Structure 1
């Protein structure tokens, strides 16, 4: 595989797929998945980046884009995904946009 140029990788919202995607030359190489909940919350439950793209800050870029977009829509962030939880712990500027995780949030997350 050719070396990865992180500057050429874009982030987009795939609303139909309920995920934000990292895209390199038209190919999805990472994503953070969410479930809409209660009309004003998004439950982020899974984030992945292909191994060959790791170590370049792409997951952080992806999650920041997703959280900023969610906040801009006036929705609250529910962090079930361990990566999103860790990101939020390092970025207190999101604190007011975060809703605590409740059992009904966990029940809404797709399995499998």
Structure 2
């Protein structure tokens, strides 16, 4: 799934979703197909699917273009549409939801605070044990 957007200076970028196991990601890609940032997460299936967002990064050369904001916005918009609970282990997602959490919930989003077990889930996924 992709979505065409523009960054702060007006350059064309695309946000692509790669649902993989054990680690999935949203990737922001320039028009020349160069990936310049990712928001990584692990999917926890269940009655209410959860996505633990644990790492978000944009190449330093592209700082100041609001690319992280585009990644976070796309991930949170998708979570509302797909009825997914967001777990903001990543500081970028945690900060965004600390400031905009009420708005996110008012728009139909659901999130919960991380718990120690979430770190174990991420560790197992990173080691390929998930």
Sort the TM-score into its range (normalised by shorter chain). 0.7 to 0.9
The equivalent of 1:36 in structure 2 is: 43
Deviation at 1:94, TM superposition (A): 2.0
Identify the match of residue 73 of structure 1 among 71, 75, 82: 82
Length-normalised TM-score, structure 1: 0.86
Q: Any unmatched runs of 5+ in structure 1? A: none
Contact 1:6 1:58 in 2 (8 A): no
RMSD: 1.9
For residue 80 of structure 2, give the secondary structure of its aligned residue in structure 1.
helix
For residue 100 of structure 1, give the secondary structure of its aligned residue in structure 2.
coil
Alpha-carbon distance in 1 for matches of 2:10, 2:19? 23
Alpha-carbon distance in 2 for matches of 1:18, 1:67? 15
Structure 1 segments, 4+ long, off by >2 Å, are 4-7
1:97 corresponds to 2:110: yes
The equivalent of 1:22 in structure 2 is: 28
For residue 68 of structure 1, give the secondary structure of its aligned residue in structure 2.
helix
Contact 1:44 1:79 in 2 (8 A): yes
For residue 88 of structure 1, give the secondary structure of its aligned residue in structure 2.
helix
Tell me how many residue pairs correspond in the alignment.
109
Deviation at 1:7, TM superposition (A): 3.4
Identify the match of residue 13 of structure 1 among 7, 17, 22: 17
Q: Any unmatched runs of 5+ in structure 2? A: 1-7
